Chain A
Amino acid sequence: MKKKLFIPFIFSLLLAVLLVACGDESNSNDSNGGETAATDTLIVGTGADPTSLDPRKTWSGPGYSINSHIFEPLVFRKIEDGKVSIEGILAESFENVDDLTWKFTIREGVTFHNGEPLTAESVKFTFESILDPSFNTPMTIWLSEIDEITTEGDYVLYIKTKTPTRGLLSSLTQVPIVEPNAVKDLGDRFNVEPVGTGPYQVVEYVANNNVKLTRFDDYWGEKGVTENIEFRIMPENAVRLAALQRGDIHIAENISADKVNTVSDDPNLEMHITETLRVNMFVANYANEWMAKQEFRDAISLAIDRQALVDNILGGNTIAGSSVSPPGTIGFEDSLSIPEADVEKAKALLDEIGYDGSVIKMGGPVGRYAMDQQIVEATAGMLEAAGINVELETLEFSSYVPKMDELAYDIYYIGVADLTIDPLTHWKGYYYSDTAEGGYSNSEVDALMDEAIKTMDDEEAIELFKQIQKILYEEKPTFPLYYEPHMVGVRKGVQGFAPRLDEYIIVRDAFYKK
C-alpha cells in the first residue's frame, strides 16, 4: 500500500516537466517566422556555416551565397537564357588597354555600409591585402597573375598582369571589394561584422547558428526587396527539408535527389531545379598502367551509362555530360554527343587489349555532391558488369580530399565548378601537363591552352576552347558524367526566387508572402 505512493509521485513529476515544456512553447511560437503573417523576413536554410564573412577568405558555396548580398565585385557573372557573360558591377566600365593592362572605371556615388565612399583605393587595398602572403587565403589563386595595381584619381584603376591573361575578368568576379578602414579598425572582428557595398548589411552572425542581414538603404542600385534576410545554418539535409515542410524556413538549399518528389507532392512547397556550371566526373590516374591505356579508358567510358545515372539516381534532374565544360559557358562545344554506353563493346575492347583483371581502385566522396556516394557505387557496378575488377572506397569529404590529392586511387570522382566562366582555370588542374592531377600530358593541348590564355578576342578563344574539348573528348583523361543539379526547395508564397547556374542562392529580389 505504501509503495503505491510512488506512482502519483512520478506522474506529478512528469506533469511538471510537461507543463514547463508547454509553457516554453507557447511564448516562443510568435517568434517563429514561418507561421506568422510577417513577410518582412525571408529565411533561407543553408547547409554549412560560412565560417567567416570576410569575403577575402570565403571558399565555399554557402559563404558565396551569403557574401553576394553583403559585397560586390568589380565585375560579375550575368546569367541570361542559360548563357553566362560578364557585366560591370562596381566597375562602371572596363577595357583592355594593351595585352598586359586593364583599365577599370569605378562607379561613382557608391558607399559602404559604414558610410565611407568606394574609390579605386578601396579596390587596390582589397586586392593587395589578399595577395599579402601573411593573410593566408586561398583567394590568391584568382589574383596570382597580377603584377601591379595603380590608381589614377579616385575612380580609375589600372591592373597590369605578368603575362597576357584572358581570364583576369573572370577571376575578378570572385573577388568582392571590402572597406579598407573597417578592415584596419575591426581587425579580427571583420570576420563577423564585415563592411561592404552590397544591398544588405550584416546585423548579426552567430557562428553555426545564423547570419542576419538587413536592407542597406543607401545602396547605390536597385534596393533589396525583402527587409530582412536570415540564413540559418542547418547541416543535415533531412532536417532542412523538415524545417521547410513545417515553415520554419522559406527556402532550403540542396534538397537531396531522392526527396525531390516529397517536395513536389507537398501542396505548400515547390521545387526549383537547374543544372549548374559544375562538371561531375571521374579522373583517370595515369600512374596505373591500365588507366594510362587509351583503349582501357575507352572501355570504361563505354561501360558507364551516363543517362542511366542521371535518370535513376538523380531523378532526371540534370543532363548527362558530353564535354569537360558545362553548357552555357564561353566556348562550350555543343556538337559533342553524350558518349555511347555499350557493355558488350566494352568487354570486347578489354579482351582485345588483354586486360588481366588487375584491381582498379576507385574513390568517391560522401555527402559533398548530390547523391555522390550512390553515383560512385552505381558506376563501380557498371564497370564490374563490363568485367573490370573495381575496388571501391567512399569517404566523408574531408577524409576523401587528402587521399585524392595523394593519388591513392586509379580512378576518382570529383565535381569541378567553372565559376569563373573561363575554363582555363579549372582545366589547368586536369589537362595541362605541368599541373594535371591524373598525369595526363598532351603537348598539343598544352600549346592550345597557352595560346588561349593569351587570346583576348572571344571568337578566337572560343575556337581554341572547342578544339581542346574535342581532343579531351577523344582521349578521355577524365570522364564527364553530368552537370551537378542544383535543387532548391521553396515554400509557396516565395516570389522572385530563381536558382542559378553557379549554385549561389541570391534572394535580393525575393520575398515571402503568406
Chain B
Amino acid sequence: MMRVRSWHIGILSWLALPKYLLGRTVCCKGTLTTAIGIFITYMTPTMMISDLLIGIVNQHKLISFFDRFKKVDERLARESIRCCNNALTLRIRALLAVTFLGECILAILSFYFFHDPRNLESLLVFVAAIPTLVTTIEKVWFASLLFALKERFEAVNTYLDQTVDNYVQKNRINEMLNDSDSWDLGYLHKEIFMKNPQYVSSVKKPNKIIPVVPWDETIPVKVYNEEKKPNPEQKESDLNDTLKMEVRLNGFCQIHDEICELGKLLNRMWSLQMLLLMAYGFMSITAQFYFLYCNIVNQNIPVLFRSARNVVISSIFIVYTAGKCVYVIYLSWQTKLEARKTGVCYHKIANAVDENNFYEIINHLSLKLLNHTVNFTACGFFDLDMTTLYSVTGAITSYLIILIQFNLAAHRTKRPDNNSLITTTSTQPTL
C-alpha cells in the first residue's frame, strides 16, 4: 500500500521536474541569485525524492513501529489508561487541511497574479506545487506519530500525578474520617468533604486545601477502577500495597522505556528528512525575505522569485514554511520534556508515600529513567529543540542583514547620486 502510493507520487514528481528545468533557464544572470535559485529549485524535488526513497526503505521499520506502538497501547490499556486517538485524528485532519489549503492558496494566487491563463504551460505551476505538498504530507506523518508518542508520555505522567493526588487526598480524608468516626458513611462522603475545608483550616494548619471535589469528578478517563470507588473498604489504594505498586511502577518504567525506544526509531526514520526540511526552510525563508526587501525598494526580482512581488503571497509562503519547521520543532521539544518529566513524577510518588521500600524501588527506577532519555536530532547535526529555533532565527536575521548590505553597496556603486534608504531613516517611522 505504502509502496504503491510512493510510486504513484514518484511518477508525478518526474512530471514536476521539467518545470524546474524551465525555471532555471529563465532565471536571471546575477550570480548570487542564480546560486540561491539553483539551490532552491532543486531543493524541493530532492526533498521529495529523498522522502519517498527513505519512505520506501523504511517501510518495514514503519510497520514494526506500528506493531510496537500497538503493544504499548495494549500495555497501557492493561494499566487501564485508555489513550483515545480522537485528538490525534483531529489534529491529523487539521494539519492535512492546513497543508492543502496553504499549497492551494499559494498555487492559485501565484497562478492568478503571474500567469497567463490562456497559456497552457502556465498550468505547470500547479504541478510545481506537488513536490512541496508531498514533502509536507510526509512531515505530517512524522508530526502525527510524534504527537501520538507525546500523548502516551503525557498519559503516563498524568496517571502518576493523579495517583499522587489521590493518595494525598485519601490520606487527608482518612485522617478526617478517623477524627469524625464516620467510617461507614459511604455515600455521605461528599458532605464530609464539603465540611473538609473549614474543618482542616480551623483545626489544623492553614495549609493548602486541595480543591474540594468529590473524587468521582476529579478523575478523568485515564484512571483505574479501584480508585474510582469512594468506598472506605477500597480505600487501600495501590500505593499502600507496596508489592502491587512496585509491579505497576516497574511496568510503567518499561512502558516509558519502550516509548523512548519508539521515539528513537521514529527519529532515525525521519532524521534526514528533518535536516532537509530545516535547510529548505532556512534557505527559502531567507531568500523570500531578501527578495521581498528587493521588491519593496523597487529592484528587479528574478523570475523564479516573482512570488516575492506580491506581499500577500510571500507572507503566506513565509508563514506556511516557518509553520512547518516550527511545528515539528515544537512537538519534538514537548515530547522530550514530557519524557523527562516522568522521572520527576516518580519521585513525587516516593515523596508522597514516604516509605523505605518505596524509596528503594523508585531510586532504582529513576536511575534507569535518567539513562533513558529520548532526544530528537536532525541526523545528529542539531537537536530539534527550541534553542535551534532561536539560533536559526538569529542566523536568518544576520544573513538577511549581510545580503541587504551587499545589495545596498551594489546599488550605491551603480547610482551614487541616488538617495537610497539609510537605516536610520527607515527606523524613524517606527518610533
A binds B: no
